[in-house]
Structure 1
Amino acid sequence: MNKKLLLLIFFLGTITFQAQNLVWKTSMDTAIAASNEENKPMLIFFTASSAPNNLQNEVFKTPDFAVWSRDNVILVKLDLSDANASDTDKEQNVKLKNAFGVEDLPEVCFASASIRKNKTTFQALGKLGYKPGGAKAWISESEAILHPSE
């Protein structure tokens, strides 16, 4: 009985640890390269320090999201209030926010991109903000955006 309990605690601890250690790319160049290499769309998370944390706390910090995101998307976090970002990155992030039509923060845009002749072309797949209902409901809506014909 003790072995089973210890094994269960270890398993749950591992999943929780993975959920809290998601790898968010902050460079669009790196994200686009990974997206194309792994043939996965990007989940671009637009946020700022003043934005509510419920999307992060109720969705992104869950084991369900960790597993789903690892298998389905490249995570990109564009913090529009990041004081450490270069002026070029800040300008690029604001341009992307405007190009994707993001008005309320935080918001997620799903997109793919290609680079040809040093020009980046984005294909927007859809947007999704915070909605009550937890990670499973949010993931279900994300799946509908990423796979609309299914």
Structure 2
Amino acid sequence: MAKKLLILLFFLGSFFMHAQNLVWRTNMTDAIAISNELRKPMLILFTASGVPDNLQNEIFKTPDFAVWSRDNVVLVKLDLSDPNADASDKETNVKLKNAFGVQDLPEVCFASASIRKNKTTFSALGKIAYKPGGAKAWIAESNALLHPSE
């Protein structure tokens, strides 16, 4: 019995550890390349310091989100207040925020993109902000944006 319990704890522990190890891209060019290679849309999180942590804590730090994001999207985090970002990256991030029509932070935009002749073209799939209800409700709404015909 103790052996079974230890095995169960090991698997649950590894599952929860994996849930906390999301890979957020911060470079849009790299994210676009990975998105196109994997044929998955990007989940672009626009955020800044001092914004509420509800989206992070109640959605992104859950095992449900970890599993869903791994299978469905490429994660991109654009921190508009990052002191380590160079001026051109900050300018690009603000332009993207404006192009996607993001008003309030944090907000998530789903998009795909292509680069041809050094010109990037984005295709917006929708955007979603934090809403109370937990990860499963947020994921259901995200799926409705990503797969409107289903």
**What TM-score bracket applies, with the shorter chain setting the length?**
over 0.9
User: What amino acid sits opposite 2:14 in the alignment?
Assistant: T
Instruction: Describe the SS at the equivalent of 2:22.
Output: coil
User: What amino acid sits opposite 2:147 in the alignment?
Assistant: H
The TM-score with structure 1 as length reference comes to: 0.98
Deviation at 1:83, TM superposition (A): 0.2
Deviations 1:23-52 (A, max 9, x none): 000000000000000000000000011110
For 2:106, the equivalent position in structure 1 comes to 106
User: What amino acid sits opposite 1:149 in the alignment?
Assistant: S
For 2:41, the equivalent position in structure 1 comes to 41
User: What amino acid sits opposite 1:137 in the alignment?
Assistant: A
Instruction: Describe the SS at the equivalent of 2:128.
Output: strand
User: What amino acid sits opposite 2:32 in the alignment?
Assistant: I
Deviation at 1:2, TM superposition (A): 1.1
The TM-score with structure 2 as length reference comes to: 0.98
Is the counterpart of residue 7 in structure 1 residue 4 in structure 2?
no
Give matches, 1:1-150, under 5 Å. 1-150=1-150
What is the rounded CA distance, in whole Å, between the counterparts of 1:3 and 1:134 in structure 2?
34
User: What amino acid sits opposite 1:64 in the alignment?
Assistant: D
Instruction: Describe the SS at the equivalent of 2:110.
Output: strand
How many residue pairs match? The answer is 150
User: What amino acid sits opposite 2:23 in the alignment?
Assistant: V
- Range that drifts further, 8-17 or 31-40: 8-17
Cα RMSD over matched residues? 0.6
Deviation at 1:8, TM superposition (A): 1.8
Deviation at 1:125, TM superposition (A): 0.2
What is the rounded CA distance, in whole Å, between the counterparts of 1:37 and 1:19 in structure 2?
23
User: What amino acid sits opposite 1:45 in the alignment?
Assistant: L
Deviation at 1:20, TM superposition (A): 1.1
What is the rounded CA distance, in whole Å, between the counterparts of 2:19 and 2:107 in structure 1?
20
Deviation at 1:3, TM superposition (A): 1.7
